[in-house]
Amino acid sequence: MSDQLKLIVEKLNKEPFKRNYNLITFDSLEPMQLLQVLNDVLAEIDPKNSVDIREEMPDQTAKRMLSILGIMKYKPPGNIGDMSVFRQGLVVGSKPVIHPVLYWLLQRTNELKKRAYLSRFLVRLEVPGEFLQDDVVSETNKQYEDLMENFKIIHKECEQLKSSGFSTADIRRDITAMEEEKDQLIKRVERLKKRVETVQNHQRMLEIARQLRVENEREESLAQQKQEQKNQLFHAEQRLQRAQHQLKNMRHAAADAKPEGLMKRLEEEMKFHSYMVSEKLPKELESKRQTLHFLQKVVTEPAMSQADLTELEEKIHEVNLQINQLIENRMRKDPMDNKLSLFRQQAAIIARKKETKAEELQEAKEEIANFEREIAQKSTQARDIDGSEILRGDEFKHYVSKLRFKSSVYKKKRQELAELSAENGVLQRTEEILKQRHENIQQQLQAIEQKKGILGYSDTQEELERVSALKSEVDDMKGRTLDDMSDMVKKLNSRIAEKKSALAPVIKELRPLRQRCQELTQEHDDKKAQYDSCAAGLESNRSKLEQEVRGLREECSQGESQYHHINLMKKSVEIQIQRAADEMKAYVSPDPQERRKAIREQYSRNILEQENLGKALREKQKLVRESHGPNMKQVKMWRDFEKLMECKKSCFQKQQQASIGQVIQGGGEDLLIL
């Protein structure tokens, strides 16, 4: 208990409570103050509980706290046997009831905050069965449950996103980098615009380029649609082939088989399916239901400690021992049962074999289905890779021969490539030798120019020749650029005309589809208007029903509060009546021992003892008053005597110090004489 109080006081002294308690001050709190502390802790978990309990009725406080503790799945300790005792202790602010609740709440505040938040959306509203007979109420209740399920999914996704590692700092850095990249792109676009403005007819060329981009995008979208339609056609052909294959197999089986064999196979299948439906699947369904029931029961139970687990294990062990004893007793008492046990074991073995064979058959069927799906998936992947169907028979042989021809061509090309690479090596070596010779000739030329006094003449001549060559190249480039631009414009115009002619039939097909799209859009708008009107009506009905349910709940809560208040008043009156009856019984009892136990007798004895004590104290006070004057005189005389003795002592000390000084002075004179 001391560890419990220490933890409570430590948690209350921290954020966000800041109470500055110690063990003594916390333990000396009044019941109302202790209830207010509990209410403040509950308000920190769920802000709806932020109230002053002095302004609230005790039964309402108890009801509110019991409700929130029930939502938090609080389980009272084992020393509180009855729930009524816990409720009464919660009303009167009993320490044995409040302290464990505070200890439990302060240990898991963050977890309970999350549970309180979820309880606002996940606590189901229990609607009576007679109201669910109405279609409107049933539909509204179904929408309410669907919204609750959606909230669960969204909350789970939100928690996963929170725990996924994404941080706001990373997102801000990404946004900053994207903004910088955007600024760079804007600057680059501005530079390109300035560069393009110097070209003639740049607006016309930009417009043509824009049209080309739009047409390219349309071409890509049409190509994508064409590919999707090809895929759909391929899947449809595959389904048709599978259906034809199944039909062929069925016809082949029907042609080869006899009616007796078909009937026998159908009977076997019927027996298997009837066994699955009547025996195996119901057992599995019942086991799943029991497992679900146990799991729901475990979920509704509060968290178990190690002591609870140990207790459950001991109970399981005891129950197993009892079962074994009962089985042994039954085997000893009933010898006929021992004879039948062999047949029961054989029947159980046969039943298990039957179940295993059924499971093996089911697994084989599932494996066949998986193989078929895998074959379809592999064929689809092969079609997506090379755009062709799976080859069979003569087509596959033709494909192999084509691959052989391609491999021979590949080998020849590879040999030619090796020869070219060898020739390339020789040419590179030749180029290096020529460069080296050129450098030697340049050095000799520079030496000759230096002797003649015209150093740099060859470089100047080469520079002039290079500049003239560059000028001629620039002039040729300008001419080619203009010709290329005119050719490019002609090509663009021709390509646009080709695309328009190619897209003409597609546009014709698109026109009825657009009209159909408009019709469907109009129909969608009409349906949406009907849906909105229906939803508004349902919402109004739901609000009315919620108001009625709220009013009935308030009436129910008022009735419950009155009931609890009357019960508490009744219990207090019964306790007072019982105490009065016990007092009367003890007071009129002829036994003096019983009469001494009566409260009246106890109070009388206490009054008599207090009166005697008061008389003794008054006599003592009288004696003190009478002897006060002489005693004060005697005290004054003793104080004067003490002062006199102190004075004599000081005089004697001074006289003694003076005599010692004289002796010391006389001794010094004697020393001087000597």
Category of 612 on φ-ψ map: left (φ > 0), alpha (ψ -120 to 50) or beta: alpha
Is the pLDDT score of 484 beyond 80?
no
What does the DSSP 8-state code read for residue 54? G
Q: What is the tens place of the pLDDT at every residue in 570-593?
A: 888 888 888 888 777 777 777 777
Residue among 32, 134, 212 at smallest CA distance from 545: 134
Is the pLDDT score of 594 beyond 80?
no
Q: Which contiguous run of DSSP H or E holds residue 410?
A: helix 394-452
What does the DSSP 8-state code read for residue 56? S
Considering all CA atoms of the chain, what is the largest pairwise distance in Å, rounded to the nearest integer? Answer: 167
Task: Tally Cβ neighbours within 10 Å of residue 87.
Answer: 20
Mean pLDDT of 176-199: 82
CA atoms within 13 A on the CB side of 117: 10
47, 92 contact by CB (below 8 A): no
pLDDT of residue 203: 77
- Concatenating the DSSP letter of every residue in 251-282 gives HHHHHHS-HHHHHHHHHHHHHHHHHIIIIIHH
Number of helices (H) and strands (E) in the chain: give both, helices first: 20, 0
Confidence band (pLDDT; 50, 70, 90) for 256?
Answer: low
Residue among 615, 70, 515, 568 at smallest CA distance from 302: 70
Is the pLDDT score of 651 beyond 90?
yes
Category of 456 on φ-ψ map: left (φ > 0), alpha (ψ -120 to 50) or beta: left
Coil, helix or strand at residue 491: helix
3-state secondary structure 378-392: HHHHHHHHHCCCCCC
Would you state the structure tokens that stand for residue 428, as one six-digit string? Answer: 């590179």
pLDDT of residue 668: 46
82, 17 contact by CB (below 8 A): no
Residue position matching structure tokens 């074999």? 353
Would you state the structure tokens that stand for residue 574, as one six-digit string? Answer: 């019964």
Q: Domain segments of the chain: what residues?
A: 2-123, 594-626, 630-674
Task: Tally Cβ neighbours within 10 Å of residue 117.
Answer: 13
Which CATH code for domain 2-123?
Answer: 1.10.418.70
Q: What is the tens place of the pLDDT at every residue in 61-95?
A: 878 888 878 877 777 776 665 677 777 777 777 78
Mean pLDDT rounded to a whole number for the chain:
78
Q: What is the tens place of the pLDDT at every residue in 506-522?
A: 777 777 877 887 888 88
Q: What angle do CA 134, 135, 137 make, to 5 degrees?
A: 70
pLDDT of residue 456: 62
Mean pLDDT of 219-231: 89
- Which string of b and e fits 315-331 if b means at least 16 CB within 10 Å? eeeeeeeeeeeeeeeee
pLDDT of residue 637: 92
d(CA 200, CA 209): 15
pTM for the model: 0.29
User: The dihedral of CA 363, 365, 367, 369: what is its sign?
Assistant: negative
